[in-house]
Structure 1
Amino acid sequence: MKNNCMHEACLYLELSNHTEDTVFPLHTSIVLFLMSYCESTSIKVFLVPNEDSASNLLWMKGAPTNIPINILSQQELPPVVKSCRLPALVEKDGNFCRAGLAVVLRHIVWRTCETDCNRKDVSELLGFKKTCLKACAEVSLGDCRDKTLKTLPFLARWYQSVQEVSGVKKAAVSCGIHLLNLSAPLPSSSAAVSSSCKPKNDKDETTDIYFRGGPRPTMNKLEENGISANFTSHPYPSWSLDWGNLPVAVNPIEGRLPSERALRKQQQLDNITSIVTKLAKPGDTVVDFCSGGGHVGIVLAHTLPLCQVILVENKGESLIRAKDRCDDLKLNNIWFIQANLDYFTGPFEIGVALHACGVATDMVIDHCMKAQAAFVISPCCYGFIQNTVKFSFPRSQKFRNILSYKEHMILCRFADQTAVHLPPERKIIGKKCMGLVDLDRACSAEECGYMAYVSSMVPDSCSPKNNLIVGCFQVVDSI
């Protein structure tokens, strides 16, 4: 398998069970269509069948005629791909993976443009700042899935105009895709969006004309029920890496940070690394979620050479910077996965995240709990916290018994008021609100079988957002 990808990137697509009308899963068909349209030859394509489709050759009628395709068993997948949902694309060195439909599509577009700078038709597939895929606005109306193209006139016009783009019909024929012939769409004036399709007004959900006051009434309400912002002492307050004797590429200053900020980043990394090194055992996998430029993951990979470290980040530029640093260090125990968090599906023992914004902290904790993995997380951007499809607040039953969603949002809003320039009394209130929001998160983990606590980084000055949430799954011995 290694030899197949020695000189080119490899793309892995799912080949699941199908019916007569559907040869490939939708995401596989979309990727193959783009590959055919781009006439990409620098990426080697593998279809990965599941057990039901392994012996079925009907997939051949839907495969692009201008793109060579290989079949690969799930057992033969590179290790980094086994940790991701398909589609996934791996660079030639085998430790940098891009997973997820949007990420893979963008990379195919970028790679095509790098290979042939004259492919303006391909570069125009990208939208704002060339960082997203271009689409018409009506595509994003998720609540209107029952609508058809005829009742979405802008989408219908877009669909028709796409067919007029040079190369689209050729790519469709190559992939065995039959494009629809739509009748003339309704005029735009009749495109009234039903009330069920209008986006919800968050203000309506969070505003209560009977609700008064800042965070103090909410904090008092919790205290009356025995809950206060108590912080557990940091378990290893004096622990520190010997930064002066570490390789330059391990130091966050190598990650293009100003010297003063790099010093604070060193202190933040000391706080997280001190706990992780005590939790980790040889052979463990440690995942740095929302890794950014890899400051945490690189330190952990260097400090824990017997552990596998995985950086998961959705911004490719940040991961590339991290990989360059790791190449300088010649680290062989680190992988890079560009993907949204949900596309990482591999097993792991410890999850970390430094300043995961808003609900991203809750996503990381949830991912760790599903894997029964320990976690060491520093939250950030409390003001971005809000109810989502997956998460509702407060997180724990303990807090839900006392606080409403609106009251919890008051805590979140004031938890962001810890900036250095603010008056001391306001920062004290902000720190208490931070502690209560994170205590709710810790309580939620405890209700799922974890031992969890909230601590503060040392020194406090290393970051205005200096909380740490630490959790370990408690194994219950069967009697």
Structure 2
Amino acid sequence: MIEFCTKKRMLLAITFLGGLTIVVLIVESQWTDDTTNKPYIENLEHNATCTTNGAYEIIIDCHPCTAFEIASKSIGVCIHSRYKEVLRCKTGETITRSCDRVAWLEENAFLKFEGFMFAFAVLSILSVFLREKVLRKRIIRKVARQLRSEIYQQDVDNIYLAPVETLIALFTIKYCDSKIKITLIKTNKKSNDNHNFMININDFIVDILENNETTRSVGYCQLPYLRLNKNSFIAGLCACLRQIIKLTLSENPLHHCQNLLGFKNSCLAAPSETSVWTKFCEVDLINMLNNCNEETRSKIELPETLARYEIHLSQPVRLHNIHKYTMSKKYSPNGVSTQNRNIPEHVYAEGTFMTLADIDIFICIHLFVIFMSNDKIFKAMPLVTKWYTKIMENENIKSLLNIFPMIIKSPSDIDVNFVLPNVIDQSLYQCDPKFYKTGKQAFTKQDDIDLSLDIIKNIGIKYNLEDEPFGVELNIDWNKIPFEAGPNGGELPKKRLQRKYEQLENLCKATLKLAKSGDKIVDFCAGTAHLGILVAYLRQDCRIIILENKEESLNRAKLRVKKLNLHNIDFYQCNLDYFKGNFDIGLSLHACGVATDLVIQHCIRVNAIFISCPCCYGSIKDCHNIHYPRSKIFKNSISLKNYLTLGHSADQTHDDKNHKTKQGYQCMSIIDTDRKLQAEENGYKVHLSKLVPDTCTPKNHLLVGIPEFKLTDDKTIADCFNNLCNI
């Protein structure tokens, strides 16, 4: 259906259909005999001779004869053309003659019809736009008063101590002139006196709640978060900031924040686990501030984070269509095309205009400047200083700095000449080619793979798989499951549909075997929530949480849930790292690389069951919250380089004819055995097997981990879930 297409595609489709209609009309007009310029058909029959000399006037225009006149032949002129007109001669005589004005009549009727349809289309479009505007305002009213963030104790009237994330969120709200009403939650954390971050809330409409007055949703995710409605939430700093900007632009598309989301609205959209740039803005800068103390003020060497940003600003600007920029007259200062024009320098963090990244980085560096209370830091980082000065020249920014009360610190007795530490000369973009130097990530050389496999063989680690997947004895009757609850409701192409059925059936059986009434089940990295929606339909006595960081995917899932009228599902748009809630079972179907280990880590943290089908073994890598290898025995036996070599080889699972496939599955088993051993070290019983049939996906391993204290003998499980065997 066209309504499920993007706005751009809908406009293209409508334009194409309109153009096709015009072409058809033109072709038909050329192929149809033109009678408009022909004289009337000769009046073969009339009852007067005054028409021969033109001494008459038409008193009734050409019109169709009645059916009776044609059938009875009572009027002779109707026999030939079936149209007649009435004339009055100068003599006063009134006569009737035949006429031929069919083309004119049909053209007139066609134009009237087209005019009516055009007017109807215009009214329809206006009604759709007005309806969309009304619905958007309703959504905005619902979202208002739903932003929740964190504060510490009150310092003086309307001035509070708060974490950096709260300061960034409030500043962005003010910059965007957002109508969101904020709820600040007093937490039990004790702020560090060495880096008190103060916020003046005089200019904000806020509710302040004690920690024990909050709803259950606060405990499920890290603050700040946005509550869209009773079962839909957005968590994580960058995700919340992006949503605040979108809400402002939905009301006022020409607001001065219109460019903050960057090219294709993608600024800071990627999760910090996979994007170096998002991690820098969302994690590294905030950690820099949180680690500040009195020693920082007297140290000669500034934080490494500032040095990395200084190097970033010295790199070439990342421009899309860079050839067009350097060659086109449009972007030339004097309007002359040239092949020698240089790529522009960094004016802002991401290029030539200010984005959300600039807001985030500016607030962090501004707070650092306030903390240091020493202007000499600017001499050590000239490019950062140039950028900082440029941001400060923005009147919209400058007018809001009063929300950060200045802390007067006594100047240091030591005259410090600050310097930046030495860091790698590379930008903060993941796609920087310097990130992929030969010898650092070339992990698939056969000699390296053989060496890694020999290490595993020598330490005697067994990586055998069980014969059947956990829960294989259960049966799912797909004929009893509604269209929207199955994968066919997710608009999958036919060539993937059957395999998706088989994948879902394997994970769903394991879930049904272990789930109990009242359990909280989280579908991590859910995408469009094929697995979560199926489990929610089959176990409506459980609470299902759909967790996904892509807004478009969640919107599709919400549409399916609405059609199914399910009320046991909550939606969380956030990265894995921001989900902090307790739950009973964690699911993941093809969570990419590091995400699978984050899911298992979350489950181990709360002693929850995990049911996971891993994917993208080649993309595993150390990040700020996950380190490899995972288990102690692997850490003590194999280096990170050799371990990642096995991960890259594990992605070489092609078809049976490929000689690399068998080796790829062997490496998959080794990586998943490491995950299994890590869980067992934390008190889990883990089942590692293949999906049935194993052709449903190349990444066909299934890990089911059960905390030992939750283990029950097979007979009790069969008795408890006998009613599920015929689902």
TM-score in terms of structure 1 length: 0.84
Q: Cα deviation per residue 1:274-326 (whole Å; 9 max; x = unaligned)?
A: 00111111111111111111111111111111111111111122112111211
Q: 1:283 aligns with which of 518, 524, 528?
A: 518
CA distance, structure 1, for counterparts of residue 393 and residue 476 of structure 2: 60
User: How do 1:22-101 residues align onto structure 2 when only pairs under 5 Å count?
Assistant: 23-41=161-179, 43-50=180-187, 62-65=200-203, 67-91=204-228, 93-101=229-237
Structure 2 counterpart of 1:106: 242
Give the match's secondary structure for 1:451. strand
CA distance, structure 1, for counterparts of residue 391 and residue 700 of structure 2: 50
User: How do 1:235-246 residues align onto structure 2 when only pairs under 5 Å count?
Assistant: 235-237=470-472, 239-246=474-481
CA distance, structure 1, for counterparts of residue 280 and residue 615 of structure 2: 31
CA distance, structure 2, for counterparts of residue 299 and residue 136 of structure 1: 36
| 1:158–1:370 CA distance, 2 compared to 1 (3 A) | same
Retained in 2: the 8 A contact 1:451–1:472? yes
Unaligned runs of 5+ in 2: 1-139, 191-196, 270-275, 286-302, 308-376, 409-418, 427-433, 712-727
CA distance, structure 2, for counterparts of residue 276 and residue 103 of structure 1: 30
Structure 2 counterpart of 1:185: none
What is the one-letter code of the residue matched to 1:229?
Answer: Y
User: How do 1:54-453 residues align onto structure 2 when only pairs under 5 Å count?
Assistant: 62-65=200-203, 67-91=204-228, 93-119=229-255, 121-133=256-268, 144-145=304-305, 148-173=377-402, 175-176=403-404, 194-196=421-423, 198=425, 213-232=447-466, 233-237=468-472, 239-420=474-655, 423-453=657-687
CA distance, structure 2, for counterparts of residue 362 and residue 137 of structure 1: 20
| 1:392–1:255 CA distance, 2 compared to 1 (3 A) | same
What is the one-letter code of the residue matched to 1:195?
Answer: N
What is the one-letter code of the residue matched to 1:108?
Answer: I
Give the match's secondary structure for 2:591. strand
Q: CA deviation at 1:149?
A: 4.5
Asked which structure has the greater RCO (Cα within 8 Å, sep 6+), the reply is: 1
Q: CA deviation at 1:446?
A: 0.7
CA distance, structure 2, for counterparts of residue 275 and residue 324 of structure 1: 26
CA distance, structure 2, for counterparts of residue 29 and residue 451 of structure 1: 44
CA distance, structure 1, for counterparts of residue 453 and residue 631 of structure 2: 16
Retained in 1: the 8 A contact 2:198–2:405? no
Q: CA deviation at 1:432?
A: 1.2
Q: Cα deviation per residue 1:21-57 (whole Å; 9 max; x = unaligned)?
A: 963322112111111121112x33211113589xxxx
CA distance, structure 1, for counterparts of residue 513 and residue 163 of structure 2: 44
Retained in 2: the 8 A contact 1:412–1:433? yes
Q: Cα deviation per residue 1:228-281 (whole Å; 9 max; x = unaligned)?
A: 431112133364532233122112222221122122111111111100111111
Structure 1 counterpart of 2:310: none
CA distance, structure 2, for counterparts of residue 268 and residue 149 of structure 1: 56
| 1:416–1:64 CA distance, 2 compared to 1 (3 A) | farther
Q: CA deviation at 1:104?
A: 0.5
CA distance, structure 1, for counterparts of residue 442 and residue 254 of structure 2: 56
Give the match's secondary structure for 1:122. coil
Computed over aligned residues only, the root mean square deviation of the Cα atoms, in angstroms, reads 3.4
Q: Which moved more, 1:323-332 or 1:383-392?
A: 383-392
Q: Cα deviation per residue 1:76-103 (whole Å; 9 max; x = unaligned)?
A: 4333233111101001x31110111111
| 1:214–1:81 CA distance, 2 compared to 1 (3 A) | same
CA distance, structure 2, for counterparts of residue 52 and residue 386 of structure 1: 32
What is the one-letter code of the residue matched to 1:79?
Answer: R
CA distance, structure 2, for counterparts of residue 231 and residue 166 of structure 1: 64
What is the one-letter code of the residue matched to 2:163?
Answer: P
Unaligned runs of 5+ in 1: 54-58, 181-191
Retained in 2: the 8 A contact 1:214–1:410? yes
| 1:283–1:39 CA distance, 2 compared to 1 (3 A) | same
Retained in 2: the 8 A contact 1:418–1:464? yes
TM-score in terms of structure 2 length: 0.57
Percent identity over the alignment is 35
Give the match's secondary structure for 2:587. strand
1:465 aligns with 2:704: no
Alignment size in residue pairs? 451
What is the one-letter code of the residue matched to 2:249?
Answer: C
Q: CA deviation at 1:212?
A: 7.3
| 1:281–1:154 CA distance, 2 compared to 1 (3 A) | same
Retained in 2: the 8 A contact 1:136–1:158? no
Q: CA deviation at 1:19?
A: 5.4
Q: Cα deviation per residue 1:184-225 (whole Å; 9 max; x = unaligned)?
A: xxxxxxxx975335569786985899x971534433443344
Retained in 1: the 8 A contact 2:680–2:686? yes
Computing the radius of gyration from Cα coordinates, the structure with the larger value is 2
Give the match's secondary structure for 1:72. strand
| 1:424–1:172 CA distance, 2 compared to 1 (3 A) | same
Retained in 2: the 8 A contact 1:24–1:62? no
Give the match's secondary structure for 1:363. helix
| 1:301–1:125 CA distance, 2 compared to 1 (3 A) | same
1:14 aligns with 2:243: no
| 1:152–1:254 CA distance, 2 compared to 1 (3 A) | farther
What is the one-letter code of the residue matched to 2:422?
Answer: S
Q: Which moved more, 1:160-169 or 1:354-363?
A: 160-169
What is the one-letter code of the residue matched to 2:657?
Answer: P
What is the one-letter code of the residue matched to 1:450?
Answer: Y
CA distance, structure 2, for counterparts of residue 276 and residue 137 of structure 1: 34
| 1:86–1:400 CA distance, 2 compared to 1 (3 A) | closer
What is the one-letter code of the residue matched to 1:78?
Answer: T
